[in-house]
Structure 1
Amino acid sequence: MAQLGTGIGWRPEIADAVERMPGVDWVEAVAENVCPGHLPDSLLRLRERGVTVVPHGVSLGLGGAERPDEARLTALAERAEALGSPLVTEHIAFVRAGGALTASPHLEAGHLLPVPRTRDALAVLCENVRIAQDALPVPLAVENIAALISWPGEEMTEGQFLYELVERTGVRLLIDVANLHTNHVNRGEDPSRALDELPVEAIAYVHVAGGFERDGVWHDSHAHAVPQPVLDILADLASRTRPPGVLLERDENFPEEGELERELTAIRETVATATAGSAAAAPAPDPDPAPDPADGPVPGPAATPEARQRVALAQAAFLSALVAGTPAPEGFDGARLRVQSRALGAKRADVVAKVAPELPWIIGESYRADFLGYARTRPMTGGYRQDALDFAEHLLLAGRPEDAAARGELTAWWLERSGPKPLDGHPLTRWLRTRTARLTLRRARRRAPGHAGVDADPAPAT
């Protein structure tokens, strides 16, 4: 496996700082935010300097019940080729549910959700990973995710689940030590035991990130400094095997450049100290070594149609409880489901504000409260840009915002972005046309000789 060194997540907000930072061997870019034909100048300059760029996917949903979408796989492959990357990475997660396998509405989480550690889910994941591997031009590594919730009836620990995944598919692992810490706080899982059980020889690289704790729940925010417990898990991992690469993730609330450099230094020193200590200790060889992807996969049970449907039904019920307000499936912690539901709503509000920054500006201080009220019972079904349009439509049909000028601006924004096709027969368009026709009629009456009345139904601003 390629030796990557120490890296940082490349984000447009810190692109200039990343270019200036000393000792950055490689960067990771969110695959969905990179256009192969129009790579950011910053990434091009980094590549010219010999800095490796790895695309990191977030929307493939390899842990979902459906087979991976061919278009998404093609897009991920195009980004790997455009960036000249030695590998691509994705997550052991599902991001959508419902649809044909469940005869229920298609739902999107807008976030990475944990798969149940069951034999059915493992069989589905392994087959999806093999499909992805066949479609990609470079090796694939998959990441363990953070979770607020435990699935009832799980049959394996995280380490056992990852071990079998590697054994059956030969896939590499992206181990996020911050996510191991998150699962320790939220689900009582011992990070050291997970490291004991997982195949460390299969690690492609490691993620390190910060978060915060609130009411006994750890939130993997990627917007805070890396805490000492996360560095301790990194040290534990590095004492077992020197990871080919370690990367600092930061997605929001970006600090000063010097603080990022200090975090990178702490990561380097943690790995160097732990590695040196492990070499001095010279532990005896493991009598039951982990599977090495170089030895080739050992096929396991196939993902039968029945297994896919069982996984689909379970994931759809879980996601529906989170985003559509349906009852919690049996065995889940209702309080934790509510925490996760609020977290998903908050993330939707934040991302919609990024993809449609005009909305918070038009709506004003009530944007967040208005969006969370909308999101509580209206699942996302078509991505964040469609979510922004649906939210604007929801407000306008409710006669919001109350300020007439803001309502007029929101109407113009919605009409401009809906495009010609969605306007034909759309309920909001019919409503706007009806109101416009009434306004025209009232104005005609006012101009008529002898008219002196007052309209009982004033028209909204447009």
Structure 2
Amino acid sequence: MERLGVGIGWRPEIADAVERLDGLDWVEVVAENVCPGHLPESLVRLRERGVRVVPHGVSLGLGGADRPDPAKLAALGERAVELGAPLVTEHIAFVRTSSPLLEAGHLLPVPRTRDALAVLCENVRIAQDALPVPLALENIAALVSWPGEELTEGQFLTELVERTGVRLLIDVANLHTNRVNRGEDPAAVLDAVPLEALAYVHVAGGVERDGVWHDTHAHPVPPVVLDVLARLRERVDPPGVLLERDDDFPPEAELAAEVARIRAVVDAGGPPGTVRQRVALREEPPGPAGEAARTRLALGQAALLSALVAGTPVPEGFDRRRVGVQARALAAKRASVVARVAPELPGILGGPDAYRTAFLGYARGRPMTAGYRRDALDFAEHLLVRDLPADPAARRRLTAWWRERAGARPRGRVARWARALVGRTP
């Protein structure tokens, strides 16, 4: 595996600070946030300096019951080529269901069962065949556990690597999150997984509330996560280590200090212990997962996701309190991302608090089905149909905003009403 060194997740809000970081070896960029042919100038300058750029996907949902979307795979591959990336990365997670059509807007855990493993392995092989560079997959943080799991995290990841030859992106913050939320020992996972397949490592901050660890990427990296990084470093010299920070960005000096602390842990690790070598790929990998396995997985994932985003009953065997915590977290994230996608909405609606109250009321029982931009438009329509906001001037501003962004959508009842509101006729 190509050595990457120590890096940071590139985000537009900290682009200038990232460029000024001393000794920066590489950056990771959210794949869905860059467009081939229109790279941000900051990324172009970094590449010209020789800084490697790795695209990190969040929307494939390789752990879902459906086969990977060819268009999403093609888009991820285009970004890898555009960035000259040595690999691309994604997650061991599901993010949507097709029956019913629901979007989580977040990475959700797959059940560690034989069915889910078979489906995941087939989906990974499809992705590998479609991508122009190697693929690595990340372990995710989770608030809930699936009932009836048949494998440990270490067993699941090991069999995934053995069956597909896929590389691993180990997130040590997620290992800590799962220690708090699911009682899983990070050391046991690190002892079990094939570290010779390690592509690189993520490090991030979070916060504990009422006995639940939230992997926020908006807090400083705590010592306990650096401890997990140190335990990993005792076992292997990682090809790359990267700091993730997605929100509530600190001053530049604090950001640089966090990167320095991570580098110090990596440099202080000393010679790693002997890494047990495993076969990277079975000579005769198992065949297709089979439609029965996909159907069983689809039913389970649909039941859980519907409980999380549509308010249906919690499936039997799940911790109802934890599902409730996850549901509230998904709704809060959905509100935050829509506000970033459509930053005018909080101002139109009277400020962040008024926006958040209105959006959470709209989202209750109205699951997202087509991404955040469509969600923002649907939210605006929902308000306009109900003659909201109450202030006529705000309604006119919201109508103008909606009309400008609705594009060529057919002019149904709401569209005709919205046009009439601003004095235009169909």
With the shorter chain as reference, the TM-score category is over 0.9
| Deviation at residue 403 of structure 1 after TM alignment | 1.1
1:420 CA drift (Å): 3.6
Tell me the SS of whatever aligns to 2:269.
helix
Question: Is the Cα contact below 8 Å between 1:97 and 1:108 reproduced in 2?
Answer: yes
Q: 2:401 aligns with which of 397, 402, 413?
A: 413
Partner amino acid, structure 2, of 1:341: A
Query: 1:453 aligns to what?
Result: none
Mapping for residues 35-46 of structure 1, pairs under 5 Å: 35-46=35-46
The one-letter code of the counterpart of 2:320 is G
Moved more, 409-418 or 122-131: 409-418
How far is 1:268 from its partner? 1.0
Deviation at 1:302, TM superposition (A): 3.1
Q: Which residue of 2 aligns with 1:65?
A: 65
What are the residue-to-residue correspondences of 1:169-184 with 2, within 5 Å?
Answer: 169-184=164-179
* Corresponding residue for residue 330 of structure 2: 344
Alignment of 1:403 onto 2:398: no
The SS at the match of 1:394 is helix
- Kindly indicate whether residue 251 of structure 2 is the aligned counterpart of residue 256 of structure 1: yes
Q: Deviation of residue 298 (structure 1)?
A: 5.2
Tell me which residue corresponds to 1:455: none
CA gap 1:37/1:433 in 2 versus in 1, 3 angstroms: closer
Is 383-392 or 399-408 further displaced after alignment? Answer: 399-408
CA positional deviation for 1:291? 2.3
Residues 146-176 of structure 1, C-alpha deviations (whole Å, 9 max, x = no match) = 0000000111111110000000000000000
Q: Per-residue CA shift, 1:101-126, capped at 9, x if unaligned? A: xxxx3000011110000000000000
Matched-pair contact (CA < 8 Å) for 2:64–2:96: yes
Instruction: Report the TM-score, using the length of structure 2 for normalisation.
Output: 0.96
Q: 2:3–2:239: 8 Å Cα contact kept in structure 1?
A: yes
Distance, in Å, in 1 between the alignment partners of 2:53 and 2:279 is 25
> Could you say which residue in structure 2 is the equivalent of 1:291?
278
1:207-218 pair list within 5 angstroms: 207-218=202-213
State the shift of 1:269 in Å.
Answer: 1.1
Letter in 1 for 2:278: P
Write the deviation string for residues 301-353 of structure 1: whole angstroms up to 9, x where unpaired.
53100000110110011000000000000001111111100100011111100
Task: Give the SS at the match of 1:422.
Answer: coil
Match of 1:147 among 135, 142, 158: 142
User: 1:183, 1:432 → 2: CA distance?
Assistant: 47
- The 5-angstrom pairing of residues 273-284 of structure 1 reads 273-276=268-271, 278=272
Partner-residue secondary structure (3-state), 2:200: strand
Residues 224-239 of structure 1 mapped to structure 2, 5 A cutoff: 224-239=219-234
- Amino acid in the other structure paired with 1:404: P
Report SS of the residue matched to 2:111: coil
- Provide the identity percentage: 70
Query: Which of the pair has more CA radius of gyration?
Result: 1
Superposed CA RMSD: 1.7
Closer, same or farther in 2 for the Cα pair 1:408/1:138, shift >3 Å? same
Aligned equivalent of 2:355, options 347, 364, 367:
367
Which secondary structure state, in structure 1, belongs to the residue aligned with residue 106 of structure 2?
strand
Other-structure match for 2:53: 53
The residue identity in structure 1 corresponding to 2:20 is R
Residue 77 of structure 1, CA deviation: 0.3
CA deviation after TM superposition for structure 1 residue 247, in Å: 0.2
Unaligned runs of 5+ in 2: none
Counting only pairs closer than 5 Å after superposition, residues 63-212 of structure 1 correspond to structure 2 as 63-99=63-99, 105-212=100-207
Displacement, 1:428? 1.3
- Which of 212, 219, 225 lines up with 2:214 in the alignment? 219
**Cα distance in 1, alignment partners of residues 184 and 252 from structure 2:** 34
